[in-house]
Amino acid sequence: MIPLAKPVFGLAEWENLSTCLTTGWISSQGKFVKEFEDNFAKWVGCRYGVATTSGTTALHLALVATGLKEGDEVIVPVLTFIASANVVKYCGAKPVFVDAHPGYWNIDPNKIKEKITQRTKAIMPVHLYGHPCDMGPIMQLAGMYGLWVIEDCAEAHGAKYNNQMVGSIGDIGCFSFYANKIITTGEGGICTTNNRDLYEHMVLLRDHGMSKTKKYWFDEVGFNYRITNLQAAVGLGQMSKLESILKERERIKMDYDSYLGTAKPSYGWAKDVCWLYTTLVNNRDKVIEALAKEDIDSRPMFYPLTQMPPYFSKEGFPMAESISRRGITLPTYIGLEKCDIKRICKIVKEIGEI
């Protein structure tokens, strides 16, 4: 059986976890949390990191910290994982959807301006499947209209736009450490930022909104989005092999590209990373079936959010629809053998007619 994803652990995770258990420091009060936050933020190129219980809570925390509230609007790509839009709803605000770029599948920067209104407060570019968004024009629009930029980096640890790490370009970057992400803490996430005020507000909101100086005093409604020392212990271990994980994943992408004889077009400003290798085929559902018969797991691409009940809309998003219909996600994990990639590609090419 070839699964879609599989985490990779080593001695570093074991040793850190064992430290948690032997010292009894297992909650968010343990010392690995700050170390993990500092370590990850520095790697991204940010001054501050706020680790959370998930990528979703990281995004929610970021939006609340910017002051997003009922009646506000946030620009979100229509082709993304649903959490990107749900967190906007959690704030009582409205996600306003933008179509995908045909080449790299992320939010099309040329279609953002027409969606900006008096109520727009933020843009949320999502670096989908490890590919960076075209951040230049997005930052320019945000500057012109005074909008926050919250980057959803859940699938793109280490991707770069013009040599700058995603997560350090907008006001806040949000990463996920779910088990199938590039590095994992089981469940977990982090917000990265260079803005001290946003950082302090996120730290406060993550811990029920409790005052820094007065115990059990609360000035606003906060959350418990604190990560545990156990998760941070695993995260630190993962950090120590992050560069080698990215290199291995790059090799997997190159093998897929060469066996399939297709690759996404490349852009001078983009350095992508390989999250779950995703490509476009014909007869997508038949390809998934044929792979399943060989005990190989695969997934359809995300559906455009406006096709599903929570965000139903008659508005057309032709690019997202066309990409999503043909998109398939293939097994991607450290330890996936070259011969297995070759076997997978043979089926994909034959049934997918590429």
Binding stretches for ligand PLP (CB under 6 A) = 54-56, 80-81, 83-84, 126, 152, 154-155, 176, 178, 189
Nearer to ligand PLP, 30 or 55 (CB): 55
Q: How far apart are CA 193 and CA 334, in angstroms?
A: 30
Q: How far apart are CA 279 and CA 176, in angstroms?
A: 22
Nearer to ligand PLP, 47 or 299 (CB): 299
CB of 128 to ligand PLP, least distance (A): 6
Report yes or no: 64 and 56 within 8 Å, Cβ to Cβ.
Answer: no
- Strands (DSSP E) contained in 156-289 are 160-161, 164-165, 172-176, 189-193, 270-271, 278-280
- Most distant pair of Cα atoms in the chain: their distance: 66
**Closest residue to ligand PLP using C-beta atoms:** 55
Sheet architecture: strand order including 327-329: 278-280, 327-329, 299-300
CB of 353 to ligand PLP, least distance (A): 28
Nearer to ligand PLP, 191 or 351 (CB): 191
Nearer to ligand PLP, 181 or 201 (CB): 181
CB of 349 to ligand PLP, least distance (A): 27
CB of 277 to ligand PLP, least distance (A): 14
CB of 138 to ligand PLP, least distance (A): 16
CB of 339 to ligand PLP, least distance (A): 29
CB of 332 to ligand PLP, least distance (A): 13
CB of 183 to ligand PLP, least distance (A): 12
Neighbours of 211 (CB within 10 A): 12
Q: How far apart are CA 105 and CA 103, in angstroms?
A: 6
Report yes or no: 74 and 88 within 8 Å, Cβ to Cβ.
Answer: yes
Nearer to ligand PLP, 28 or 176 (CB): 176
CB of 178 to ligand PLP, least distance (A): 4
CB of 342 to ligand PLP, least distance (A): 28
Report yes or no: 84 and 124 within 8 Å, Cβ to Cβ.
Answer: yes
Nearer to ligand PLP, 107 or 287 (CB): 107
Residues 6+ apart with CB under 8 A from 36: 49, 51, 227, 232, 235, 236, 239
Nearer to ligand PLP, 155 or 255 (CB): 155
Q: How far apart are CA 263 and CA 131, in angstroms?
A: 13
Nearer to ligand PLP, 25 or 108 (CB): 108
Residues 6+ apart with CB under 8 A from 143: none
Q: What's the Cα-to-Cα distance from 310 to each of 83, 86, 124, 216, 265, rounded to whole Å?
A: 12, 9, 18, 37, 33
Nearer to ligand PLP, 87 or 287 (CB): 87
Nearer to ligand PLP, 56 or 306 (CB): 56
**∠ CA 11-166-47, rounded to 5°:** 75
DSSP SS3 for 185:
coil
The CA-based dihedral angle spanning residues 290, 292, 298, 299, taken in that order and rounded to the nearest 10 degrees: 80
